[in-house]
Amino acid sequence: MSMNLIAFLLSSVLISNPLISSMQSYSYCNEYNLVEDNTKEFNWYYQLDKNTKTVSPPKECPFLTNHKIAFVGNNTKKEIFLTFDEGYEKGYTGKILDILKDNNVPAAFFVTRPYIEDNPDLIKRMESEGHLVCNHSSHHPSMAKITDKNKFEEEFKEVEEEYTRVTGKNMPKFFRPPMGKFSDLSLKYTEDLGYTSVFWSFAYKDWLIDNQPSKEEGKKKILEKAHNGEIMLLHAVSSTNTSILDEVLKELKSTGYTFKSLNDLNKE
- Residues recognised as catalytic: 85, 235
Q: Alpha-carbon distance 223 to 236, whole Å?
A: 18
The closest alpha carbon to 226, from 244, 206, 205, 253, belongs to: 253
Q: Alpha-carbon distance 256 to 71, whole Å?
A: 21
The closest alpha carbon to 133, from 242, 248, 236, belongs to: 236
135 within 8 A of 112, measured Cβ to Cβ:
no
Identify the DSSP state of 88.
S
Cβ neighbours of residue 48 closer than 8 Å, sequence gap 6 or more: 54, 55, 201, 202, 225, 227
**What are the residue ranges of helices labelled H in the chain?**
3-10, 93-103, 113-118, 120-128, 149-167, 184-192, 215-224, 239-254
Counting runs of H as helices and runs of E as strands, what totals does the chain give? 8, 13
Q: Alpha-carbon distance 17 to 55, whole Å?
A: 13
Q: Is the dihedral of CA 123, 124, 125, 127 positive or negative?
A: positive
Counted residue by residue, the chain has a size of: 268
β-bridge partners, 168: none
